[in-house]
């Protein structure tokens, strides 16, 4: 077996004093008598871009929602690191279909800033700066819900940006987007990463995963099959399931 290919326990190099950002221990989730995730053990380092891959129905989005805290696991634990001050990590999530408030693009960002506790005198300036960064300044007064799919996704990223997240979850953020919008989203992922946000993302696009991922979590039938550096996963996956997935075989 490749020395760099270790199921579900791989961590990239880190300083001796750094602690894991996230630990999932024995995580499971069942609904209406059906087990959707089982025996999930996963550790993520403080920095990096993790892409979760797997066939439809593998549990990718569910795993992210459990880690983010949108759902409670039916078994196991989710353990997040904290800042040295003890403050919880600030998290943001961008969904495949962004949820837009019934207000302008600018007001969507102002609302997020208000929820973060930013003084009202500062909100407009910060919101406009975020819209400018994501190429949406000219659309500031347009109702968010009439924007195109690509514009809404960039607005969702701008809204996440003003939250200054320590961790950014992205659930299929480029699904059904045109190539230009996809590139804009991928550029945004790099921007968040360069500013210090930890990225956890799902994708069905293998080329996108090759471009963005530092490490790959491969999920199948509710279990983590592999967690390896991206280069190792695409060059020499450990499991037959991963090899079949990369070759285009249907997994069920």
Q: What is the spatial order of strands in the sheet that 223-229 belongs to? A: 91-94, 167-171, 198-202, 49-53, 215-220, 223-229
d(Cα 220, Cα 241) in Å, to the nearest integer? 8
d(Cα 130, Cα 133) in Å, to the nearest integer? 5
Q: What is the dihedral of CA 14, 67, 174, 101, to 10 degrees?
A: -130
Tokens 């999920």 appear where?
219
d(Cα 191, Cα 4) in Å, to the nearest integer? 28
Domains of the chain by start residue, with CATH: 1-48+55-89+211-252 (3.40.50), 99-164 (no CATH)
> What confidence tier does 2 reach under pLDDT thresholds 50, 70, 90?
very low
pLDDT at residue 11 greater than cutoff 70? no
The model's pLDDT over 70-92, given as tens digits with 9 standing for 90+, comes to 999 999 999 998 887 778 888 99
> What confidence tier does 18 reach under pLDDT thresholds 50, 70, 90?
low
d(Cα 154, Cα 94) in Å, to the nearest integer? 10
The model's pLDDT over 169-204, given as tens digits with 9 standing for 90+, comes to 999 998 878 898 899 999 999 999 999 999 999 999
**88, two tokens:** 């919880």
DSSP lists the bridge partners of residue 78 as 24
pLDDT at residue 17 greater than cutoff 50? no
DSSP 93-123: EE-SS----SSBHHHHHHHHHHHTT--HHHH
The pLDDT of residue 10 is 37
Q: Which residue has the higher pLDDT, 238 or 249?
A: 238
> What confidence tier does 16 reach under pLDDT thresholds 50, 70, 90?
very low
């Amino acid at each position: 077996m490749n020395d760099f290919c270790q199921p579900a326990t791989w961590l990239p190099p880190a300083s001796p004093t750094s602690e894991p950002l996230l630990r999932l221990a024995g995580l499971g989730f069942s609904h209406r008598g059906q087990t959707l995730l089982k025996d999930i053990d996963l550790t993520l380092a403080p920095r990096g871009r993790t892409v979760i891959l797997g066939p439809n129905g593998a549990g990718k989005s569910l795993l992210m929602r459990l880690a983010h805290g949108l759902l409670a696991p039916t078994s196991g634990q989710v353990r997040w690191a904290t800042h040295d001050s003890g403050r919880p990590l600030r998290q943001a999530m961008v969904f495949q279909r962004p949820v837009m408030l019934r207000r302008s693009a600018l007001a969507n960002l102002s609302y997020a800033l208000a929820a973060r506790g930013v003084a009202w005198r500062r909100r407009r300036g910060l919101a406009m700066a975020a819209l400018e960064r994501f190429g949406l300044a000219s659309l500031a007064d347009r109702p968010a819900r009439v924007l195109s799919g690509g514009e809404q996704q960039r607005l969702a990223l701008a809204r996440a940006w003003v939250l200054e997240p320590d961790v950014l979850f992205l659930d299929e953020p480029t699904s059904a987007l045109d190539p230009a919008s996809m590139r804009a989203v991928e550029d945004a992922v790099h921007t968040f990463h360069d500013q210090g946000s930890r990225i956890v993302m799902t994708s069905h696009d293998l080329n996108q995963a090759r471009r963005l991922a530092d490490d790959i979590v491969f999920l199948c039938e509710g279990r983590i099959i592999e967690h390896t550096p991206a280069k190792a996963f695409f060059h020499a996956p450990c499991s037959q399931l991963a090899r079949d997935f990369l070759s285009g075989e249907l997994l069920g």
